[in-house]
Amino acid sequence: MRVKRNGKVVYQESRTFDRKTLARDWSARRELELQEPGALLRIQHRGVTVEDLIDRYLDEFGHNFGRSKRHHLEYLRTFDLAERDAIELTAQEIVAHVIERARPDASGRRVQPQTINNDLIWLRSVFKTARSAWGVPAALESLNDAAETCRRERLVGKSKTRVRRPTLMELDSLLDYAAIPSGKRSIPMTDIILFALFSSRRQDEICRIKWAGLDPRNRSVVVPDMKNPMGTKGNDRMVYLTDEAWSIIQRQPRDNDRIFPCNAKSIGTRFHAYCQFLGISDLRFHDLRHECISWLFERGWDIPRVASISGHQSWAMLQRYTHLSRQEPHDKFLGWNWRPVTED
């Protein structure tokens, strides 16, 4: 039996039978089956695994991904689900993967529902790309059915809104500790913490900004590859700097093309170690970004002006970082010893 398209054989299949009538019945049945929408594509791509699709997705489009998305997709390849046929994958297999992910490990720790939800989010991206870019009919319907079940049964969930803000006492402790002279401390953690606090920049963005991108006239800086849901690579954005952030930049040595020539991972590691040593619980470097944005609103800045500092393009996203406090004064850092001296 052969299937032709525009005069060319696109698929052929054969079987041997003892009786001619059986052969005719099989041929007629297979012809009807192959006429169903997507049937021929499913046969042509039979055997393509979830891991195959993830590998191709990373190879062809991974240069546009942020670090977290790439690492999560690479981690997905280590599970049994990655060995399944991407076309024949069932909703039951996906739900089973989610349930297994939710089981506590030997030490009793559990993977958070929002982390497991990322499995489904990134897998959906892979399947959608496979269908539209490569013509592979990945089991998107099964994935959507499984995701609906997992949400309904609360096996997965959205990330919780984080409202943690550092107190002045915590910041004093961190900056005092970071300022202690040490031959091992080549990273200017004091200025980096202060810069994050008054610029709202992420740790990897702090390490990427360059002197060439600084505009003294407008007191702005270009942030290369700023994080963006539509793609980080090449998303260079100009943002304005607060007076405090500007003064911190001005005291940095100009012996490198980058203003803060440090490794972003090292900054995060140091910050975490400082918090552990000082007994400061549940504080992350990224919380300094939340603190800056909330502080600007508490000072009475409007949305467009705050967004010009933070780089957000919508109020919905900016709102996630805004956690106003009724206990704080209108300017939390007014008169604070660590507040950088700004020019008049």
- Residue 330: the pLDDT is 65
> Which amino acid, residue 29?
R
Tokens of 106: 């030997």
- Residue 38: the pLDDT is 63
CATH match for 168-319 among 3.90.1150.10, 1.10.3720.10, 1.10.443.10, 1.20.1090.10: 1.10.443.10
Angle at the Cα of 188 from the Cα atoms of 182 and 189, rounded to 5 degrees: 90
pLDDT 10s digit of each residue in the chain, 344 long?
777 777 777 677 788 988 888 888 888 887 776 676 666 666 666 788 999 999 999 999 988 787 788 899 999 999 999 999 998 899 999 999 999 999 988 888 889 899 999 999 999 999 999 999 998 889 999 999 999 999 999 999 887 777 889 999 999 999 999 998 876 667 899 999 999 999 999 999 999 999 999 999 999 999 998 876 665 666 788 999 999 999 999 999 999 999 999 999 999 999 999 999 999 999 999 999 999 998 998 888 888 899 999 988 777 767 766 665 555 556 788 889 898 876 54
- Residue 24: the pLDDT is 86
User: Beta strand 220-223 with 214-215: parallel, antiparallel or unpaired?
Assistant: antiparallel
Tokens of 276: 């552990």
User: Beta strand 214-215 with 8-12: parallel, antiparallel or unpaired?
Assistant: unpaired
Q: How many helices (H) and strands (E) does the chain have?
A: 15, 5
CA gap 62, 4 in Å, rounded: 36
So where are the chain's domains? 2-44, 50-152, 168-319
